[in-house]
Chain A
Amino acid sequence: MAAGPGFQHANSDGTTTNIVMSDLINVLDTVDVPIVVLQPGFMLVWFNKAAANVLRFLPSDIGRSSRDILVLAGVPHLEEQCSRVIASGKESRADFRDGHKWFVVRIFPHKKGDGQVSSIVLTFTNVTALRASIDQVMYERECTKAILNAVSDPLVVLGADQRIHCGNRAFYEMFLELATLRTQLKEMLEGSHAFQPVEVDHVFPGEGQRTLSIDARPLSLTGHSERRILVTFQDIKAHKQAEASNDLRAIATRKEELRRSEAFWLRLNVSA
């Protein structure tokens, strides 16, 4: 902050003098990321405008120890981390929460010309939205998974390379050899043919023979070039049995009609 605390330097006699760096300070004040500078003794020597606005640093904080400044005291193990950074010369990062906001604090050594660490630079990157978006993604995917698992028919989503992207519980419980479908799936992905449902008879251990109707449809999402396929498995054994039963009934009915017809003509011929 050019007009506020400025970039101050603590002399060996404890006094502070402004170092003329107004251009650099003006530049740093345009950065909307809070930047704070500590001396190796953890004394605050400078902060930019964003630090004042976002983290409520005050000009009167200059010269105070980090542990006496509310915000810095809230950064877990800050002094330990700073000590490690000074000793190793390598930057470090820490998580920090300020009310409803979350920050990643980058702890960076500032070295003098002789390579000695002269101060510690802290930057505070606001990651509140990123954290929330990741949590939301995880929540929504878990919800989707729970919904898919509640579906009793097997469902599986394949990538463009026909690898399983995800499947529901029923699918994993009802493993099926998909090799015979590859040609059809490939043609559908290429857009040359729509997928025609395929009926597959398969013997499942403990459950006997089942007839599955396998269908597939392309999944596309606006703004995503990746192509996926939703494959559905419908157990149609009962339906097939009902169809067969109906067929038998129809045959029996037809036979009965023929028999009556033959008897009628027979009676007609006899009476004639």
Chain B
Amino acid sequence: MEDYARLDRAVADALRETAGPDEARVIESRLLSQYQPPFNMPRSQALLLALRQFLPAVADSVLQRSRNLYTASEAA
């Protein structure tokens, strides 16, 4: 990963767009408070893994949108 700050923004925006701003806040806080990542990793990556594990239907959309946002922010 080239730019973790950019990834954080991309994942956060993708989750907000997918689930809604208030819902995204709840999902992120609940998942990250209970998910134990296998090793230390950036918050956004842990969030993606937790989504994959607990809310796979949401994870697919967020992952796809994150990828697009991350790529688009690189080009901008």
Contact = CB atoms under 8 A, between A and B. Distances in A.
A complexed with B: yes
Interface of A: 93, 95, 102, 104, 106, 125, 127, 130-131, 134-135, 137-138, 141, 165, 226
A127 B23 CA distance: 8
A165 B54 CA distance: 11
Q: Is the interface of A mostly helix, strand, loop or mixed?
A: mixed
Interface stretch (B24-32, B39-47, B63-71): B24-32
A137 B55 contact: yes
B26 A138 contact: no
Contacts of A226: 57
Contacts of A95: 25, 29
**In the A-B complex, the 5 residue pairs with the closest CB atoms:** A104-B22, A134-B30, A125-B22, A127-B26, A138-B54
B30 A104 contact: no
Contacts of B23: 127, 130
Interface string B7-37: 0000000000000011101110111001000
Q: Is the interface of B mostly helix, strand, loop or mixed?
A: helix
Contact of B26 (A106, A130, A137, A141): A130
Interface residue tally of chain B, by bracket? 10 to 19
Nearest to A139: B34
B53 interface: yes
A134 B21 contact: no
B53 A93 contact: no
A173 to B, nearest CB: 16
B26 A104 contact: yes
A102 B26 CA distance: 10
Given A106-B21, A130-B23, A134-B54, 6 more contacts: A93-B21, A131-B30, A134-B26, A138-B30, A165-B56, A226-B57
A113 B26 CA distance: 34
Contacts of B57: 226
Given A138-B54, A141-B53, A165-B56, A106 B29 contact: no
A45 to B, nearest CB: 24
B17 to A, nearest CB: 15
B22 A134 contact: no
A226 B58 CA distance: 13
Nearest to A94: B25
Given A93-B21, A141-B53, A141-B54, A135 B30 contact: yes
A211 B2 CA distance: 45
A131 B26 contact: yes
B15 to A, nearest CB: 13
Given A137-B54, A137-B55, A141-B53, A93 B30 contact: no
Contacts of A135: 30, 34
